[in-house]
Structure 1
Amino acid sequence: MKKRKIPLRKSVVSGEMIPKKQLLRITRSKEGDVSIDPTGKKPGRGAYIAIEPEEAQMAWDKHILDRVLETKLSDEFYQELYDYVSHQKARRELFGDE
């Protein structure tokens, strides 16, 4: 059998190339709305971060997503992102890789 190519994306926090399934996409729509995109299919400008609470915290501390998505994000959004990433990491550890 032919081996399938695994799509890679770059994490905006660490700068590492990581398989797309291990990343979380954050999108900014044309209207300027920023949201978490668990499906990875929403239209708009996207930025990826690894599903690691440390990366979400570093993005919050340094406001990396503000610069990458060229918008001002609130602390509430960063808190929601951190909680989501923590929950997803716990799920993956509990149930294994999807």
Structure 2
Amino acid sequence: MKKRKIPMRKDIVTGEMMPKKELIRVVKNKEDEVSLDPTGKKPGRGAYVSVNVDVANQAKKQKTFDKVFSLKIDDDFYDELISYVDHQQARKELFSDDK
């Protein structure tokens, strides 16, 4: 059986290459609206951030997405990102127990 290739993406905060499934996509559409993209299928320019609360907090502190998308983003977006990452991290830890 042929081994499947795992798509890799770069975390824009840490610069580390990781499997796409372990990252969250943030997308900027044509109207310059920035939003989370849990499905990974929204149209627009995408950037990836790791499912790690520390990395999300670092992104807020450094205003990483402001730089990547070249526009001013409200702190509300970063707060939404941090809460979403926290939720996803908790789910990952809860359901990752392989028994």
Q: Give TM-score scaled by structure 2 length.
A: 0.95
Residues matched between the structures, number: 97
d(CA) in 2 for partners of 1:70, 1:85: 23
Cα distance in structure 2, aligned partners of 1:53 and 1:82: 6
Query: Runs of 4 or more off by more than 6 Å in structure 1?
Result: none
Task: Trace 1:1-98 onto structure 2 (pairs within 5 A).
Answer: 1-96=1-96
Which SS does the other structure have where 1:59 is aligned? helix
Task: Output one character per residue of 1:7-29: Cα deviation in whole Å (capped at 9) or x when no partner.
Answer: 00000000000000000000000
- Does the residue aligned with 2:39 lie in a helix, a strand or coil? coil
Runs (5+) with no aligned partner, structure 2: none
- When the two structures are superposed, what TM-score results if normalisation uses the length of structure 1? 0.96
CA–CA distance in structure 2, aligned partners of residues 51 and 37 of structure 1: 13
Alpha-carbon distance, 1:70 to partner: 1.3
User: Could you tell me how far apart the structure 2 residues matched to 1:77 and 1:17 are?
Assistant: 24
| Structure 1 residue ranges without an equivalent (≥5) | none
- Aligned residue for 1:66, secondary structure, equals helix
Q: What is the Cα-based RMSD across aligned positions, in Å?
A: 0.9
